[in-house]
């Protein structure tokens, strides 16, 4: 009976999620009321089974997220014999932004290195640095850092934190000179890195920028000030487990949203006092169109908060057959980190206010695979991802 209810909710929700024409506000409210009416009897009948107890715990998630990740480095260069990455593969995958979905689907890491100049603007930067510092350019290399499975995947130009890269020098390197790297950053500027290892035939450096580098040489001691080792580059991280079930004191449909799970974790007595016994949440995606004003408002809020990506979600609350968009008291709402967002970083929640503006709230819990907030609004939401330590609230 319980699963039949969830299946019915899923089917009904598709009626207004995937229609040919987007629903306006009035039509959307009518459809939600229709869903509420059709499900009221079934939900009341199964209420005893669905309301969690005080000691409820989350279901175990798939252990596949703990798998080893393969990292392949391929160098095709007439100058540099070999380039590799010393950072542990799982750590590098997390810094590169691998999602829970990509990890569960068996995606790997790949670094392709070729002889290639940067763009005209990038090459001008490298040439100017070399001229200013009296560096000799030994090699110009293009780095293509990919999260991929076969031909499918995406290239990454900037990582959340630095990885450690090693480059073997040309066979005719001069042991009486020092070697370093001029690295192009994604904002068009550059950084210089000195050699971190003692082996004369190679250089090792930490960077989070993986687009173009120039291997350069200079008199002994020229790169001493640039020997900057970042402890993060050699951290041994474990890929977090996706949270497949969020405990909820208010019954929540579980199967409508396969990417994100949601639950209200405030004490049931507090919620019951306001919304009554026969209350539940329906949780699903929403997709703003290209010209959708609200979608653009969310986009602007994400950028103002310092976010990089977001996933839209829509938790709405039923009480006694009616939709509650706002409650008198705030409650704790918890989401799993979406499967299709990077599994490493910082998360926040954007909420559509009653006046149509959007506020962004930082995560109030300490779990790496969930994000929570206090809220009295049950309307359009978005879960935002950004680099660790970069997100801020927008009110």
pLDDT at 43: 42
pLDDT at 5: 41
User: 12-21, 131-140, 385-394: which range is least confident on average?
Assistant: 12-21
C-alpha torsion 347→210→157→76, nearest 10: -140
Between 28 and 257, the higher pLDDT residue: 257
Residues 347, 242: Cα–Cα separation, whole Å: 14
The length of the chain in residues reads: 395
* pLDDT single digits (tens) 57-100: 333 333 344 568 999 999 999 999 999 999 999 999 999 999 99
* pLDDT single digits (tens) 188-232: 999 999 999 999 999 999 999 999 999 999 999 999 999 999 999
Residue 178, Cβ density class (10 Å: 0-12 exposed, 13-18 middle, ≥19 buried): buried
Residues 6 or more apart in contact with residue 291 via CB below 8 angstroms: none
Residues 228, 195: Cα–Cα separation, whole Å: 9
Query: Beta strand pairing status for 152-156 and 136-149?
Result: antiparallel
Residues 71, 108: Cα–Cα separation, whole Å: 6
Residue 176, Cβ density class (10 Å: 0-12 exposed, 13-18 middle, ≥19 buried): exposed
The three-state secondary structure class of 100 is: helix
| Cα–Cα distances in angstroms (integers) from residue 88 to residues 109, 110, 203, 227, 335, in the given order | 11, 13, 18, 21, 29
Q: What is the mean pLDDT of the chain?
A: 84
Residues 249, 20: Cα–Cα separation, whole Å: 35
- pLDDT at residue 7 tops 70: no
Between 26 and 147, the higher pLDDT residue: 147
pLDDT at 291: 64
Q: Please, are residues 188 and 122 in contact by the beta-carbon 8 Å criterion? A: yes
What is the pLDDT confidence band of residue 19, given thresholds at 50, 70 and 90? very low
Q: Of 159, 164, 185, 165, which is closest to residue 95 (Cα–Cα)?
A: 159
What is the pLDDT confidence band of residue 162, given thresholds at 50, 70 and 90? very high
Residues 30, 41: Cα–Cα separation, whole Å: 18
pLDDT at 335: 92
Residues 225, 133: Cα–Cα separation, whole Å: 13
Between 63 and 29, the higher pLDDT residue: 29
Between 380 and 18, the higher pLDDT residue: 380
pLDDT at 257: 59
Residues 385, 98: Cα–Cα separation, whole Å: 12
What is the pLDDT confidence band of residue 283, given thresholds at 50, 70 and 90? confident
Residue 349, Cβ density class (10 Å: 0-12 exposed, 13-18 middle, ≥19 buried): buried
pLDDT at 271: 85
- pLDDT at residue 151 tops 60: yes
- pLDDT at residue 49 tops 60: no
Q: At what angle are helices 2-17 and 25-45 packed, to 10 degrees?
A: 170
Residues 6 or more apart in contact with residue 299 via CB below 8 angstroms: none
What is the pLDDT confidence band of residue 8, given thresholds at 50, 70 and 90? very low
Residue 356, Cβ density class (10 Å: 0-12 exposed, 13-18 middle, ≥19 buried): exposed
- Beta-strand (E) ranges in 169-307? 177-184, 190-194, 202-209, 212-219, 262-264, 279-284
What is the pLDDT confidence band of residue 9, given thresholds at 50, 70 and 90? very low
DSSP assignment string, 13-82: HHHHHS-SS---HHHHHHHHHHHHHHHHHHHHHTHHHHS--TT--PPPPPGGGG----EEEEEE-SS---
């Amino acid at each position: 009976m319980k699963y039949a209810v969830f299946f019915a909710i899923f089917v009904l929700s598709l009626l207004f999620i995937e229609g040919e024409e987007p629903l306006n506000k009035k039509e959307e409210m009518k459809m939600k009321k229709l869903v509420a009416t059709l499900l009221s009897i079934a939900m009341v009948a199964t209420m005893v089974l669905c309301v969690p107890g005080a000691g409820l715990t989350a279901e175990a998630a798939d252990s596949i997220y703990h798998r080893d990740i393969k990292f392949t480095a391929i160098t095709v260069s007439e100058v540099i014999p070999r380039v590799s990455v010393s950072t542990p593969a799982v750590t590098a995958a997390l810094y590169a932004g691998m999602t829970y979905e990509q990890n569960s689907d068996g995606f790997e890491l790949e670094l392709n290195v070729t002889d290639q100049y940067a763009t005209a603007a990038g090459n001008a930067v490298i040439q100017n640095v070399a001229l200013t510092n009296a560096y000799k350019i030994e090699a110009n290399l293009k780095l293509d850092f990919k999260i991929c499975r076969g031909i499918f995947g995406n290239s990454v130009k900037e990582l959340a934190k630095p990885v450690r890269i090693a480059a073997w020098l040309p066979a005719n390197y001069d042991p009486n000179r020092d070697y370093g790297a001029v690295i192009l950053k994604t904002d068009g500027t550059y950084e210089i890195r000195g050699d971190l290892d003692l082996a004369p035939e190679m250089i090792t450096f930490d960077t989070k920028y993986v687009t173009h580098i120039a291997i350069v040489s200079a008199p002994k001691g020229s790169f001493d000030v640039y020997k900057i080792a970042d402890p993060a580059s050699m951290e041994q991280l474990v890929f977090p487990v996706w949270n497949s079930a969020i405990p909820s004191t208010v019954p929540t449909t579980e199967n409508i949203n396969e990417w994100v799970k949601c639950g209200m974790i405030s004490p049931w007595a507090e919620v019951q006092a306001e919304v009554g016994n026969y209350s539940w949440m329906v949780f699903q995606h929403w997709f703003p169109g290209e010209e959708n004003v609200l979608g653009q408002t969310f986009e602007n809020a994400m950028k103002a908060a310092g976010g990089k990506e977001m996933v839209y979600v829509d938790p709405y609350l039923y009480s006694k057959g009616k939709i509650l968009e706002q409650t008198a008291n705030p409650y704790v709402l918890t989401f799993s980190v979406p499967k299709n967002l990077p599994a490493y970083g910082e998360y926040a929640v954007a909420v559509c206010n009653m006046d149509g503006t959007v506020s962004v709230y930082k995560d109030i819990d300490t779990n790496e695979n969930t994000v929570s907030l206090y809220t009295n609004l049950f309307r359009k939401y978005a879960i935002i991802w950004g680099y660790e330590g970069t997100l801020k609230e927008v009110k």
